[in-house]
Structure 1
């Protein structure tokens, strides 16, 4: 096994557990940090369909993570190395065991494996802030939300921490945590009643100063449910950020982890989440030298980095990673055999919940891979909105891309599968609106770098080179242009109808033009697939990107 050692901006290879040459002379202290994010309830074993949908290798998830965590702690104890275990939020929404227990089972697992601290995520509010308060009280570790404030008192809520200070190996480590400030735009109003999510860039500099100057911390770690850009585009996004910095427009509401690392000094490392984009090696800002780490989501991986600290200067001089490809370990059962005690307890809890919910029942079958993702070609998204339109007797249907949460492989479709696809228990609404209003909604989802929304009932051709608000080149139904003055029935979830996912104009939509269907989105999807029996969707060109075409 090898470690990847990075020091002063260049890399060398060192054998695992072999000391760095000159380490004794430099009096180096090693600090281990393991990190997770966006577990989304996936503590039970799963199959790595993201690698091979037909023959997916098994992933040990919570039980394999527990085995690896115990192994690292055992090795670290031999040399008195401190060990931290962090999470960056969204711990329970997404699986039956997570949702049915409202997060309690996941917090139990986190208590048992010994987390040091976590930042809460936007989905921690899916069952309301009072449920999150209960989870925070249940946790044996600090749940942090330094930017979560009560609107009545204008003070930070008292049921989440802002930061925690650890004294280890003669050093003081300050750890502060934040949730994305856009949570209010992604949560139901009742779930975040009297809650304000303040901008992180406004608070972080003050917290860094408070930790370093007022509390004497030697190092500052930030846990944030705010992510990095998609890893293959990191250089492109960095250059765009630098251009915005030159224009004076880099500081704004909703900054990502790369931007925060670039604009705030005094942070040694950020452990990010929310975007589900794993970074095998940390992003390090060239100006502030802040390192940003982010793991993959859904409990499939764990990150592990060892920081090297010069005891004499109290400077962090480098880091080591522990796997051939970098800092992330995919928890394949063949590589990290699950801890037997954890596996037994998790399996029993998962089985209890799934039996209570009847999740093993077969609903139908798919002959093709149903993959979520881009609005242009995601067959899973197509099936969802087709179900909304047909089962709700609507002309059109829409669903935000983030509302479809799982892929399905060819074969039988069970209720368990549908819960993974649609885990939110959203209600179905039908809104009566003009073609012009619907087109405006679609244009909203194409603004900026937007790429649309899952859509059923028509076909849209769009050009992102055109100005915001005028990017739709053609909008047709049954081969004819949509009548912009006519009234249509448009099916969507109450989440969208409440003005979320950027569709803020829906907040003002007339209530007397909204029909409550009386069914959850998942039930609508289940009815549709049961009625069809076998589904074989294709890409029918309902959402097509074009260039340089006029209407």
Structure 2
């Protein structure tokens, strides 16, 4: 029997071991430059609506919530990428403003998102040289981008110290980023294998709590949780996934519980976290680990950043210095719509949407104006194409139907130049078959909205053979009409720089006789001009793209079929 004093010492030692560290983990993802609050429908917060509790988020509220948590105890705040793009603020002030505002939020670490590459490597370098916090991305090979490799703030991982506990933050980004953004020489490595190599080094450096922070989507987040043995928590982004346990505080429908628990082969629980997008929610979870890095307890849910959170005055003062330019854009009416312009990412990524039709039509119109001097035909490019991922918002007609310059910038925030190209009917059909394929994957943003085409797809057919009918608007004709696409004929197309440069895996440049011309106009300026000259618009769905679906197919592709079979099985068993 040990003497009582020694028993007390041993007990205190065990308690200290068991209760190694407690802290609050905060996280945001896909903030997309929503410096101001966002409306319930995902658009601009109208004057007076915020005061009535009808708007949410904004960087000022994020700052207030983060500061409140930090003042209450040990806290780590992480950003899972895509802070670039999405609002007129970014379209005007680009990454420098994002960097300065993120410095005010002071995340402990940030992952790179796909959109952080949208302005090219040079602008990303400027961003990294401006921020004063670590940016982690352990799945990049930067050998061929030396200026990016030289950025001191960009690293594979960051080790944080909390109550003498070493916590490793390992960064990752989706491996197909090269096909989703501007051309660069970065090599994007596979997430799981890259993370596992890094975590082995961290374990050797006495890091026993490891958080994977990255931007690859909810499904990949769960795969990382399952297949990376040293990872304890996964904080993700990219898929804008809303996770919540219990009744959600607003109208958003949870796609899974918060946290989503993944069980490793050895029986350990790993927590997968996301917090929707656009600053509407702040992910918040209380964690407790023992000294061995084993998760003991956890409790939390995303926090809805509503009007109960007063925006940080420092951030409001900063924005006010630059607001006049944004206000002028919001006051500049460029057209009127009498119908809802549907730019919803799911609608436009799964089929024809009326806003996609309108935008593609404006591309064709831009080329018609450019070639007016040549009266041999009405145009040399009767086809307009835009990928669904380029369309980032819808426009409500509202009381007056007014469309402002700021609205258009919200819809098309990427500042893409328009190009004319000429390709064979065979190559055109290959591109459209690729569009059909992307629609059945998680990259529905690659699905094409069209002008000057009539398409029919049959998803009962195998990949690459789904087009059952394709007609194109003639260009060398006095009265435009639709004709069957001939494989040997050539067709003029107007499309964005993203697609011309091979974005989403497309090839719109003829290999034998490449013909590419820059129209010297941005996509959104083409839309604005089309609006201004047509005054009032009411675009419709015109059966430009018609689908014959497989039974039980959903936006999740084959997963929809599996879900339907499982559900039918459940009903059968329940009836027994």
Q: TM-score, normalised on structure 1?
A: 0.81
**Aligned residue among 51, 71, 89 for 1:74:** 71
User: How far is 1:179 from its partner?
Assistant: 2.3
Does residue 1:413 correspond to 2:403, yes or no? yes
Does residue 1:259 correspond to 2:223, yes or no? yes
**Aligned residue among 181, 197, 205 for 1:206:** 197
Does residue 1:97 correspond to 2:89, yes or no? yes
User: How far is 1:341 from its partner?
Assistant: 3.3
Distance 1:391 1:415, change over 3 A: same
User: How far is 1:509 from its partner?
Assistant: 4.2
CA contact (8 A) 2:37 2:45 kept: no
2:296 corresponding residue in structure 1: 317
1:197 corresponding residue in structure 2: 188
Where does 1:136-151 land on structure 2 (aligned, <5 Å)?
Answer: 136-151=128-143
Distance 1:185 1:270, change over 3 A: same
* Whole-angstrom CA distance in 2 between matches of 1:338 and 1:365: 33
Where does 1:308-457 land on structure 2 (aligned, <5 Å)?
Answer: 308-310=288-290, 314-321=293-300, 327-332=301-306, 334-349=307-322, 351-354=323-326, 358-372=329-343, 373=345, 374-375=347-348, 376-393=351-368, 394-410=381-397, 411-447=401-437, 449-450=440-441, 452-457=447-452
Where does 1:130-141 land on structure 2 (aligned, <5 Å)?
Answer: 130-141=122-133
Where does 1:150-169 land on structure 2 (aligned, <5 Å)?
Answer: 150-152=142-144, 157-159=149-151, 160-169=154-163
User: How far is 1:199 from its partner?
Assistant: 2.1
Secondary structure in 1 aligned to 2:422? strand
CA contact (8 A) 1:44 1:347 kept: no
Secondary structure in 2 aligned to 1:292? strand
Unpaired segments ≥5 residues, structure 1: 1-22, 77-81, 230-255, 322-326
Greater relative contact order (CA < 8 Å, ≥ 6 in sequence): 1
2:461 corresponding residue in structure 1: 466
User: How far is 1:524 from its partner?
Assistant: 0.6
CA contact (8 A) 2:121 2:148 kept: no
Distance 1:72 1:196, change over 3 A: same
User: Which stretches of structure 1, 4 residues or more, deviate above 6 A after TM superposition?
Assistant: 23-26, 51-56, 153-156
1:533 corresponding residue in structure 2: 535
Secondary structure in 2 aligned to 1:428? strand
1:506 corresponding residue in structure 2: 508
Distance 1:319 1:297, change over 3 A: same
Distance 1:397 1:156, change over 3 A: closer
User: How far is 1:156 from its partner?
Assistant: 8.6
* Whole-angstrom CA distance in 2 between matches of 1:156 and 1:42: 26
Secondary structure in 2 aligned to 1:392? helix
For residues 433-477 of structure 1, the C-alpha deviation after alignment (integer angstroms, 9 at most, x for no partner) is 233321211001112625631112122121222111101122234
* Whole-angstrom CA distance in 1 between matches of 2:213 and 2:179: 21
1:542 corresponding residue in structure 2: 544
1:247 corresponding residue in structure 2: none
**Count of aligned residue pairs for this structure pair:** 482
Where does 1:296-315 land on structure 2 (aligned, <5 Å)?
Answer: 296-310=276-290, 314-315=293-294
Where does 1:100-139 land on structure 2 (aligned, <5 Å)?
Answer: 100-139=92-131
* Whole-angstrom CA distance in 2 between matches of 1:380 and 1:227: 26
CA contact (8 A) 2:423 2:490 kept: yes
* Whole-angstrom CA distance in 2 between matches of 1:506 and 1:547: 27
User: How far is 1:204 from its partner?
Assistant: 0.9
For residues 498-536 of structure 1, the C-alpha deviation after alignment (integer angstroms, 9 at most, x for no partner) is 111121x33664674223212111111111111121111
Distance 1:154 1:97, change over 3 A: closer
**Aligned residue among 277, 286, 309 for 2:263:** 286
Distance 1:150 1:28, change over 3 A: closer
Distance 1:262 1:27, change over 3 A: closer
Secondary structure in 2 aligned to 1:290? strand
Does residue 1:58 correspond to 2:39, yes or no? no
Secondary structure in 2 aligned to 1:205? helix
For residues 282-340 of structure 1, the C-alpha deviation after alignment (integer angstroms, 9 at most, x for no partner) is 322223532221121222221111112235x542123111xxxxx222322x2323233
User: How far is 1:108 from its partner?
Assistant: 1.6
* Whole-angstrom CA distance in 1 between matches of 2:44 and 2:517: 42
* Whole-angstrom CA distance in 1 between matches of 2:358 and 2:512: 28
Q: Mean alpha-carbon deviation: is it higher for 108-117 or for 507-516?
A: 507-516
User: What is the RMSD computed on CA atoms of the aligned residues?
Assistant: 2.7
Secondary structure in 2 aligned to 1:446? helix
**Aligned residue among 232, 237, 254 for 1:268:** 232
CA contact (8 A) 1:360 1:414 kept: yes
Q: TM-score, normalised on structure 2?
A: 0.78
Secondary structure in 2 aligned to 1:166? strand
CA contact (8 A) 2:285 2:299 kept: yes
Distance 1:513 1:412, change over 3 A: same
* Whole-angstrom CA distance in 2 between matches of 1:93 and 1:52: 15
* Whole-angstrom CA distance in 1 between matches of 2:316 and 2:416: 32
CA contact (8 A) 1:370 1:380 kept: yes
Q: Which has the larger radius of gyration?
A: 2
